[in-house]
Amino acid sequence: AGDSLWVTAIAPIAAGDVVTVDFFNLHYQPHADRHAVLSEADYECHCALCLGHAPDKTRAFNCVACADGIVHPTLDVYACSLCDAVWDNDLVERATAEEAILMDELEVFTAISLREIVAASLLHPFHHIFYATCSNLMNDSIDDTLTPEHALLVYKELLDSLNYVVPYPHASKIQLMNLMAQTSVGVGRIETARAHYEAAHAMSCLVFGSTCGETRLFEQLAEHTPTSVDEMAAIYGFEEEEEDDEEEEEEGGEEEDPADPSSHHTIENV
């Protein structure tokens, strides 16, 4: 409030350590977008990425010199993080041209269609374009062909991308762990759900603090993992939300149907 700022440390901080505070949602934004947002707000950042001393991991490309390498730009130098190969101008132009086309024209409505595009692309699956597209597919429930089992795979891929690009505790990772736990309950994998809730609780302690309501909810879910969708919905309070939605429909006309707790991707997260 006012001129006060609440900061939760995600790692021990010693006197004299340099601390970076992310005031914006920039954790998966490419260097140019980060710079534009910060400049508009008159903020100046001196982290390694903003200074051009570190590779931009959000712009990830498949190395053509080795099988598993990932190429990132550090300013204008595109180099593989595995074999250290540096791309020439022709490769850079080819990659950035495809990047620009995908940025302007990519439109998919199923995870399977996106997977086919990723497989044929010079861009790596960790690229911010693919991450954002896949994340939107899952968040907006556009893909009605997605099974719960496939959804678990997609959530895992999103989490893998986050862990690569954002190598520190983050709220977005907690959200994915929560979704994976919910989906696991829906398909009867209770022990798997428990493991996801335990991971979400551990990270929530770091990101939000051990006394936060969300952290305490994950602690409850880890200790007493629900064994059915109905039990899970009751713990999250979905039943009350559905009743509120029904009242709003009666008062204000037709609205969207309440979220179906039996669906892996329509069930809300905390």
| CA–CA dist 3, 14 (Å, integer) | 24
Q: How far apart, in whole angstroms, are the C-alpha atoms of residue 187 and residue 205?
A: 27
Tokens of 201: 């609780």
Q: What is the chain's pLDDT, residue by residue, as a tens digit (270 residues)? A: 567 777 777 778 899 887 777 778 899 999 999 999 999 999 888 889 999 999 999 999 999 999 999 999 999 999 999 999 999 999 999 999 999 999 999 999 999 999 999 999 999 999 999 999 999 998 876 677 889 999 999 999 999 999 999 999 999 999 999 999 999 999 999 999 999 999 999 999 999 989 999 999 999 999 999 999 999 999 998 765 555 555 555 555 444 433 333 333 333 333
3-state SS string over the chain?
CCCCCCCCCCCCCCCCCCCCCCCCCCCCCCHHHHHHHHHHCCCCCCCCCCCCCCCCCCCCEECCCCCCCEEEEECCEEEECCCCCECCHHHHHHHHHHHHHHHHHCCCCCHHHHHHHHHCCCECCCCHHHHHHHHHHHHCCCCCCCCHHHHHHHHHHHHHHHHHHCCCCCHHHHHHHHHHHHHHHHCCCHHHHHHHHHHHHHHHHHHCCCCCHHHHHHHHHHHCCCCCHHHHHHHHCHHHHHHHHHHHHHHHCCCCCCCCCCCCCCCCCC
Q: Which of 268, 263, 267, 269 is nearest to 147 (CA)?
A: 263
Q: Which residues contact 110 (CB under 8 A, 6 or more apart)?
A: 137, 142, 143, 145, 146
The ranges assigned to domains in the chain are 1-54
pTM score: 0.84
Per the structure block, which two tokens stand in for 60?
């990830």
Residue 185, both tokens: 């309950």
Q: Residue 237: which region, alpha, beta or left (left: phi > 0; alpha: psi -120 to 50)?
A: left
